[in-house]
Amino acid sequence: MAEKIKDLLSSGNPLALAYLGDAVFELAIRNEMIRRGHIKLHDLNCQTVRYVSADAQAKAVVFLTPILSEEEMEWIRRGRNVKSKHSARGSSIIEYRYATALETLMGFLYLQERQVRIQELVQYLIQGTETAAL
């Protein structure tokens, strides 16, 4: 298993990282929503969807950019620039590429066992969007 993870990271396949990162990001968002006291199922779902749609993820990349390291920005660029035959329903190709970029970063961080960094980014994102909504 560890060898396959090393192979994935060394190959730098952004789509495979994005595939994994999609689940990692949604789980991190769900976890944070519960931590913040959203316990009703409908409320949890509504709050989670605010962050995991392609357009929300694209906005998240822009919002998170100032606090990302050079290494993290490199994974954002790799994910954004990857060519895919698919796109999200209801989102532009630009939004889809930025969403893929965020998912690629999340997949990379997860495989690097940097869950604390994932949590920091998610908390920063949620805090920033809650503050902006006030």
CA–CA gap between residue 106 and residue 100 (Å, rounded): 10
Question: Which structural domain range is residue 70 located in?
Answer: 2-133
Residue of 35, 6, 8 whose CA lies nearest to 20: 8
Going by pLDDT thresholds of 50, 70 and 90, the confidence category of residue 74 is: very high
pLDDT in the model for residue 134 = 41
Judged against a pLDDT cut of 90, whether residue 6 lies above it is answered with no
pLDDT in the model for residue 133 = 59
The helix/strand/coil state of 68 is coil
The structural domain count of the chain equals: 1
Q: Report the number of secondary-structure helices (H) and strands (E) in the chain.
A: 7, 0
89: how many CB neighbours lie within 10 A of its CB?
A: 7
Judged against a pLDDT cut of 70, whether residue 10 lies above it is answered with no
The helix/strand/coil state of 45 is helix
Degrees, nearest 5: CA angle 131-37-95: 50
Q: Say which CATH number the domain at 21 has.
A: 1.10.1520.10
CA–CA gap between residue 130 and residue 18 (Å, rounded): 26
pLDDT in the model for residue 24 = 98
Q: What percent of the chain has pLDDT over 70?
A: 85
CB 91 within 8 A of CB 54: yes
CB 89 within 8 A of CB 81: no
112: how many CB neighbours lie within 10 A of its CB?
A: 14
Residues with catalytic function: 22
Q: Global pTM?
A: 0.88
pLDDT in the model for residue 130 = 76
pLDDT in the model for residue 129 = 83
What digits encode the pLDDT tens for the residues 14-53?
999 999 999 999 999 999 999 988 778 888 888 888 899 9
